[in-house]
Amino acid sequence: MSGSDHRDHAPDLTARLPPRQVLTAKFPVMSMDATPALSAADWTLTLKHGVRPLKRWDWAAFSALPRQRIVRDIHCVTRWSKLDTAWEGVALDDLLADAGLAAPTGFLLAHSADGYSTNLATADLLDGRAMIATHYDGQPLTPAHGGPARLLVPHLYFWKSAKWFTGLQFTAREEAGFWELRGYHLRGDPWKEERFGEGG
């Protein structure tokens, strides 16, 4: 015990930082374009298999789904990480259950009101790993951060968490989304440092 008769009471935050990430207390806004005007009254979420619509929720129907609260660390590929972010929303498991549906394929594209898209493996959205968030830190999600509703997939780099989320589309094959087409990795696991794809 010599040399360690004092204890470090600070929790080891660096152990929660994936490779080459830096801690921030701020919440930067990262958008490819302007914040779209999207009110809850206008908002709908459409679930599709390819071009075939499976189900659509308006705000009232979506708001009636079971809700969850989660606290997670988030990691942006531009190297900032933010710890213990608190979210409230609807788990993807509960959305699919409401549609009365088992996932028809292993891949999805998330679509957004600003024309953004990002691809995800179905497995990365299920078993409580992802939600459609409507609240951050106890408050309704601000427009800049994706309000009225955004996808939250906290175990992948934050570009996978589509803001102004309005569409979820099952695809037969893995299809690249907006940033993935521009060189970002198809999966984006921050712990494996999956920043760029082949040729990226």
Ligand X SMILES: Nc1nc2c(c(=O)[nH]1)N[C@H]1C(S)=C(S)[C@@H](COP(=O)(O)O)O[C@H]1N2
| Residue 22 found at the interface with ligand X (CB under 6 A) | no
Round to whole Å and give the CA distance between 134 and 86: 11
According to the binding rule CB under 6 A, does residue 116 interact with ligand X? yes
For the bound state, the minimum distance from the C-beta of residue 143 to ligand X, rounded and expressed in Å, comes to: 10
Q: Residue count of the chain, please give it.
A: 200
Nearer to ligand X, 23 or 32 (CB): 32
30 binds Mo ion (CB under 5 A): yes
Binding part of the chain for ligand X, among 30-38, 43-51, 54-62, 185-193 by CB under 6 A, reads 30-38
Say if CB 145 and CB 30 are below 8 A apart: no
157-176 binders of ligand X (CB under 6 A) = 158-159, 161-164
Closest CB to ligand X among residues 101, 187: 187
> 52-91 mask for ligand X (x: CB under 6 A)?
------------------------x---------------
By beta-carbon proximity to Mo ion, the closer residue of 159 and 165 is 159
Strands (E), 92-184: 107-112, 117-121, 131-136, 139-140, 150-152, 165-171
Asked if 31 is part of the footprint of ligand X (rule: CB under 6 A), the reply reads yes
User: Which of 13, 23, 24, 28 contacts ligand X by CB under 6 A?
Assistant: 28
CA separation for the pair 63, 57 (Å, rounded): 9
For ligand X, give the closer residue by CB, 101 or 155: 155
Q: Is 124 helix (H, G, I), strand (E, B) or coil?
A: helix
For 84, the enclosing helix (H) or strand (E) is strand 80-91
Contacts of 100 (CB under 8 A, 6+ apart): none
Query: Residues touching ligand X: how many (CB under 6 A)?
Result: 17
| The CA-based dihedral angle spanning residues 172, 177, 183, 187, taken in that order and rounded to the nearest 10 degrees | -60
Q: Which of residues 64-83 bind Mo ion (CB under 5 A)?
A: 76
